[in-house]
Amino acid sequence: MTTVAAYAAPRAKAPLERTTIERRPVGEFDVLIDIKFAGICHSDIHQARDGWGEGIFPMVPGHEIAGIVAETGPGVTRFKVGDRVGVGCMVDSCGTCDACLMGREQHCAEGNTQTYNALDRSGEPTYGGYSTHIVVAESFALSIPEGIALDEAAPLLCAGITTYSPLKRWGAGPGKKVAVVGLGGLGHMAVKIAHALGAEVTVLSQSLRKKDDGLKLGADHYYATSAPRTFEELAGTFDVILSTVSAPLDFGAYLGLL
């Protein structure tokens, strides 16, 4: 075990405090990561406030982790000391069920092990990225290319994959019209990614308040959903609509835009 510095919520709704936690020894297929940056995702706040129930305290949030490999286990083949790596919201799964064998560990039949606020397969609590180091199986670490700064890479590990995955899966690309509903933390990421994939991107936002930002981020069009004519004008327009809004939406109205 190695003692490392961390920020933890000592109990539900309490502010984070400096503390120390124990990281497991580097196992055969593990890497030790010197954490340089960790994003703040809204689910970190939900969890630290125990908003989803059954929190494990003290809790060290953080599931958008970017850093440098500091040590490798003897069986590690994908990484070497000094490599730039990231860790997202999962750190383990059974590895043998149909979902795991298909590379969809998020659907593991036994349940995946979350980066923090979970118990690992030996029954020990997991602690996230608001700490100086983490030990993780190499199969749950990702390479970060040289071209992306580590601080900018961190949010891609959750907000990025959350929007990239559906865009990729539903074929966003050249010749496709993609609407992104909402321009917040996820929405702005979706606009950038859909634009980078080559799609024609429209933002559907409540008002035109963030229009300049949306266009700068790569949107081709920007509509206010509060404007009465928007839903008539855009009926049947889009190949893909990605909703990033957490408030209740009239899905029927949006389906009419597909």
Q: Count CB neighbours of 249 within 10 A.
A: 14
β-strand 221-224 against 200-205: which pairing, if any?
parallel
Answer for the pair 106, 86: CB distance below 8 angstroms, yes or no: no
Q: At its nearest, how many Å lie between Zn ion and the CB of residue 5? A: 22
Q: Does 40 bind Zn ion (CB under 5 A)?
A: no
Q: At its nearest, how many Å lie between Zn ion and the CB of residue 220? A: 28
Between residues 12 and 97, which has the closer beta carbon with respect to Zn ion? Answer: 97
Which of 43, 106, 230, 237 forms a contact with Zn ion (CB under 5 A)? 43
Mask for 80-109, x = binds Zn ion (CB under 5 A):
-------------xx--x--x-------x-
CA distance 232 to 218: 24
Kindly identify the residues of this chain, within the stretch 165-194, that bind Zn ion according to CB under 5 A. Answer: none
Q: At its nearest, how many Å lie between Zn ion and the CB of residue 86? A: 13
Between residues 173 and 185, which has the closer beta carbon with respect to Zn ion? Answer: 185
Kindly identify the residues of this chain, within the stretch 121-160, that bind Zn ion according to CB under 5 A. Answer: 158
Between residues 113 and 225, which has the closer beta carbon with respect to Zn ion? Answer: 113
Kindly identify the residues of this chain, within the stretch 225-254, that bind Zn ion according to CB under 5 A. Answer: none
Helices (H), the chain: 42-48, 98-101, 150-153, 159-169, 185-196, 211-216, 230-233, 251-255
Residues 38, 61, 26: CA angle, nearest 5 degrees: 75
3-state secondary structure at position 154: helix
Residues of this chain that bind Zn ion (CB under 5 A): 41, 43, 93-94, 97, 100, 108, 158
